[in-house]
A and B are shown apart, each in its own frame.
Chain A
């Protein structure tokens, strides 16, 4: 049977393929993480600079979540940048790399600082990426915020 299979084996391959294991991409996952960052920044500002134990505990918690979500946003952006976007998208959007680079840098800034303005800037960058992403799929998907 093996010999027969080899004999019948075509030389060409037709791909009934799938890019990733799932091929499911959506800038929404980055947006949700960025919204969590912004939310923590707002809560930190509202908390003020109380030095009692309870305030310190809460502040630490907010900072930990902010760091974690900013890291997650960066990772989600990387997945879109590396795995989804292709060279022909770059032709259509020459500022694609710059946009992702700025967005990734904003993620870092949100980790080192706690100004809600950084969170807003990150969400604005993700909104821009959202626009590019859905345009490549010729779909008109509105950007919205859960928070």
Chain B
């Protein structure tokens, strides 16, 4: 039967299309899960980040490697963990403890107030600003 031979490849193509679609959807979901958007409040990171900037945060940045000094990170405020702070890693001690400071030290409450921050507390690394596009 000629019709039978033609139907089978069609069925395979449909399966392949479904697989590709699922994979793409999975990839999008994974990206959306890994990268989160945050709005910056406060001016302790001026001039790097201004209040009202929108930034992208990589939540898995430190899954396979340790943080480095100079990286801008998100961490829970040790004094009020429900609040997320945005600071730069100023230095790292022998045990991996992080000393966080704002780029604008005169207008920043940071490790100078709340001390060292545990590296496993980090919520992610700030990848960069996506809005506004230009300053």
A14 within 8 A of B: yes
A13 within 8 A of B: yes
B7 within 8 A of A: no
Taking CB atoms, residues of chain B closer than 8 Å to A17 are 41-42, 44, 85, 108-109
B residues 1-46 touching A (CB-CB < 8 Å): 36-46
In whole angstroms, how far apart are the Cα atoms of A128 and B90 in the complex?
A: 31
A residues 86-129 touching B (CB-CB < 8 Å): 86, 88
Binding site secondary structure of chain B: strand
Q: Which residues of A contact B (CB under 8 A)?
A: 5, 8-19, 21-23, 86, 88, 137-138
B107 within 8 A of A: yes
- Interface size band for B: 35 or more
Binding site secondary structure of chain A: loop
B51 within 8 A of A: yes
| Distance (whole angstroms) from the CB of B67 to the closest CB of chain A | 16
B57's nearest neighbour on chain A, judged by CB, is A14
Taking CB atoms, residues of chain B closer than 8 Å to A11 are 37
- Which of A8, A14, A21, A137 is within 8 Å of B74, CB to CB? A14
Q: Beyond A16-B51, A16-B85: 17 further Cβ-contacts under 8 Å?
A: A5-B131, A9-B39, A9-B54, A10-B37, A10-B39, A12-B38, A12-B84, A13-B40, A14-B40, A14-B41, A15-B41, A15-B84, A16-B49, A18-B109, A19-B113, A23-B107, A88-B79
